[in-house]
C-alpha cells in the first residue's frame, strides 16, 4: 500500500521535474562532433541542464552544472537505442535509471569535460567497467521524493547546508543518481575527487615524528556534479583551446557611430 503510494508520488514529481524551464539560454555550445574529437574514455562530461530538476540542483550546489555522465567511447551495442546512433555515455536519470546514451542528447547544452589526471589505461577500464555493471539499475526514487521538497518555492537554505541536502537517497547500493554513480566508479580504483584531508603525526623512527597529510574518502552520496569541476585531481578540457585557438583569426564586427554594444 505505502510502496504503491510512494511510487505514485515519485512518478508525479518526476513528470513535474522533467519539464523544461522557460527560456533556457545556452551560452557556449560545443557540438558532439567536436566534443568526440577531444573526449577520452574515463572523462566526466558535465552538463548545464534545462529541466526544473536541473534548476533545483544548480540552486542547492550554487553551480552551473546539474548533471554528470561518464564517457566510455562509441559503443553501438551498449543499449537498445538502435545501431544508427553511437552510445558514448553512461549516466543515471530518473526516467530510465542507469543507461547508455549518445553525445547527441546534449547537443544543445553547455558542456564541460573533466579528465582524471593520473589514471592508467587499466584503471580507466576498471572505472568504466564499474559503471557498465550498474546499467539497468534503478534511479534512487527517495532522491526524487526529497528533491520534491524544494519545488515550491526554493527555500532560503544556508550555503553550508546545501551539500548535505543533496546527500539524499535511500542508501540502497542497487540504486544510483548521476554524480554518486560516477563517484563510486572512481572510488573503486581509489581515485580522489574531493577527499577530506587531515594532518596527523606519524612515527618514523625512535622518538621521531613527522606530520603527514592523510586522505579520507568522502562518502559517495555527498558528491555533486560541480565537484568534478572543482576537484584539483581533474583537468578541465576546453575543445576550442585544444584545437589551437588563435584570437587573431576572429573576425569582429566593428560597431558604427550610431550602434551600441
pLDDT value for 179 = 85
| CATH superfamily membership of 2-243 | endopeptidase domain like (from Nostoc punctiforme) (3.90.1720.10)
Q: What would the mean pLDDT of 220-230 be, rounded to a whole number? A: 82
List Cβ<8 Å contacts ≥24 apart for 62-66.
62/159, 62/162, 62/226, 63/224, 63/225, 63/226, 63/229, 64/110, 64/226, 65/112, 65/225, 65/226, 65/229, 66/225
Rounded Cα distance between 242 and 52, Å, is 33
Q: What would the mean pLDDT of 198-218 be, rounded to a whole number? A: 56
Q: Residue 55 half-sphere exposure, CB side, CA atoms within 13 Å?
A: 20
Burial class (CB in 10 A: 0-12, 13-18, 19+), 60: buried
CA 185 to chain centre: 12
Helix (H, G, I), strand (E, B) or coil at 212: strand
pLDDT value for 195 = 76
pLDDT value for 68 = 92
The percentage of the chain sitting over the pLDDT mark of 70, rounded to a whole number, equals 61
* Chain segment 76-100, per-residue pLDDT in tens: 444 444 445 678 999 988 777 899 9
pLDDT value for 1 = 54
Take residue 86 and report the three cell numbers written for it: 553511437
How high is the mean pLDDT of the chain? 76
Rounded Cα distance between 18 and 151, Å, is 12
Closest by CA to 181, choosing from 121, 225, 235, is 225
Q: What would the mean pLDDT of 246-251 be, rounded to a whole number? A: 88
Take residue 110 and report the three cell numbers written for it: 553547455
182 vs 210, more confident? 182
pLDDT value for 77 = 47
pLDDT value for 147 = 58
Rounded Cα distance between 111 and 92, Å, is 17
Helix (H, G, I), strand (E, B) or coil at 115: strand
12 vs 172, more confident? 12
* Chain segment 94-143, per-residue pLDDT in tens: 777 899 999 999 988 889 999 999 999 999 999 999 999 999 887 666 65
pLDDT value for 168 = 46
* Chain segment 39-81, per-residue pLDDT in tens: 999 999 999 887 777 777 777 777 889 899 999 987 644 444 4
Closest by CA to 95, choosing from 156, 148, 33, 18, is 18
pLDDT value for 78 = 45
- Tell me which of 3-17, 20-34, 48-62 is least confident: 3-17
Amino acid at each position: 500500500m505505502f510502496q504503491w503510494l510512494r511510487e505514485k508520488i515519485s512518478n508525479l514529481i518526476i513528470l513535474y521535474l522533467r519539464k523544461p524551464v522557460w527560456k533556457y539560454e545556452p551560452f557556449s555550445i560545443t557540438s558532439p562532433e567536436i566534443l568526440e574529437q577531444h573526449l577520452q574514455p574515463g572523462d566526466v562530461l558535465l552538463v548545464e541542464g534545462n529541466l526544473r530538476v536541473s534548476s533545483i540542483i544548480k540552486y542547492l550546489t550554487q553551480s552551473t552544472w546539474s548533471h554528470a555522465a561518464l564517457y566510455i567511447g562509441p559503443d553501438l551495442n551498449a543499449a537498445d537505442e538502435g545501431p544508427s546512433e553511437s552510445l558514448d555515455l553512461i549516466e543515471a536519470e530518473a526516467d530510465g535509471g542507469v543507461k547508455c546514451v549518445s553525445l547527441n542528447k546534449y547537443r544543445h547544452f553547455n558542456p564541460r569535460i573533466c579528465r582524471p589526471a593520473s589514471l592508467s589505461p587499466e584503471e580507466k577500464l576498471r572505472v568504466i567497467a564499474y559503471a557498465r555493471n550498474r546499467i539497468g539499475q534503478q534511479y534512487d526514487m527517495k532522491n526524487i521524493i526529497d528533491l520534491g521538497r524544494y519545488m515550491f518555492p526554493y527555500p532560503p537554505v544556508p550555503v553550508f547546508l546545501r551539500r548535505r541536502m543533496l546527500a539524499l537517497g535511500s542508501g540502497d547500493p542497487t540504486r544510483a543518481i548521476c554524480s554518486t554513480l560516477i563517484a563510486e566508479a572512481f572510488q573503486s580504483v581509489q581515485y580522489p575527487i574531493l577527499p577530506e584531508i587531515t594532518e596527523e603525526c606519524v612515527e618514523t623512527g625512535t622518538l621521531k615524528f613527522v606530520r603527514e597529510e592523510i586522505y579520507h574518502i568522502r562518502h559517495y552520496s555527498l558528491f555533486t556534479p560541480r565537484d568534478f569541476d572543482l576537484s584539483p585531481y581533474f583537468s578541465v578540457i576546453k575543445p576550442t583551446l585544444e584545437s589551437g585557438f588563435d584570437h587573431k583569426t576572429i573576425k569582429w564586427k566593428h560597431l558604427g557611430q550610431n550602434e551600441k554594444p
